[in-house]
Amino acid sequence: MIADGEVGPGATVPPEKIRGAAALVRDGRVYSLAAPRFPGMPLFAGHPKFEVLTYRSPRGIRAAGDQPWGPHNEAGLGYMSEVIMGTAHSGAHIDALAHMTIGPEGRWYGGGNADEHLGDFGPRFGDAEKLPPLFTRGVLLDVAAWRGLSCLQKGEAVSAQDLETIAHVQGTPVGESDVVLIRTGYMSLWPDAERMAAHATPGPDVSAARWLSARRIAATGSDTETYEVQPAPDPGEPSNPQPVHTHLLIECGIYIMESLDLEAISRDRVYEFLFVACPLKIRGATGSMIDPLAVV
């Protein structure tokens, strides 16, 4: 059972909004907004490496003399399985509401706090088990294209005025329950870790976050590993290294997605679409890998 405060506004998209989003599909084109995941892939420095390790193999089963289906296997049937190790925040992903905390009590959205709700196997309040599926109108605000750049510069901020202007120029006003994707061009450098590091990290500032929350969106995402501009140009008082996450995720319950591949929809100038993402409901996880879709 989901307690009060464990989900954000993205969990209650009105039926009429869902129907309107489905009506945006006219051509039947589907865009994946996720790049492949692989061992050694670029990740935010604070996360463990992503690994794929073979667990069972046809030759290993044969060498061990195992009989997973019993003794009757004249055909020599084998199989392969693997162990996938890494954070839920590997590649394209969505943050659960319990991902970010603030203050000495380690509190997060909806009343969650480390003393009451964090056990040895992850948070039990606002964790990834409570992440809703997202099926709603998506809007791309293509900041890099608007500025005439392939990728924004290192630490370049995106303001509320930028978002307002781009939404107007593109003819894509942002409304309640939308998913708003912000392109910096960072994924145009993928997976060249050296070039990516040279551009780390552009993104929305606090004014942009407040612009988004004022429109009561369901979720937002970008093509960078941190979503927001880093280092924060406006850390506030007391100093906060991630004020955008604090406002959107902790204060407003607006889901944040990161490392989305927005290059194809940018090239095709797809600015409005049906957005679909189905997070994995993993108890105790602080987010979920996703392969979101833009459908037109």
Domains of the chain: 9-36+88-295 (3.50.30.50), 51-85 (no CATH)
Give the pLDDT of residue 272: 98
Q: Rounded distance, CA 267 to CA 182, Å?
A: 14
Compute and round to an integer the Cα radius of gyration of the chain.
21
Mean pLDDT over the full length of the chain: 97
Q: Rounded distance, CA 187 to CA 267, Å?
A: 13
Q: 247 pLDDT exceeds 90?
A: yes
pTM of the full structure: 0.96
Q: 261 pLDDT exceeds 80?
A: yes
Q: Rounded distance, CA 109 to CA 69, Å?
A: 48
- Mean of pLDDT values over 79-90: 97
Which residue in the block uniquely carries the two structure tokens 């030759």? 59
Helix (H) or strand (E) holding 160: helix 160-170
45 vs 217: which has the higher pLDDT: 217
Give the pLDDT of residue 215: 98
Give the pLDDT of residue 4: 80
Helix (H) or strand (E) holding 17: helix 15-22
Report the percentage of the chain scoring pLDDT > 90: 97
> pLDDT confidence of 3, banded at 50, 70, 90?
confident
> pLDDT confidence of 136, banded at 50, 70, 90?
very high
Q: 1 pLDDT exceeds 80?
A: no
Which residue in the block uniquely carries the two structure tokens 């996938």? 84
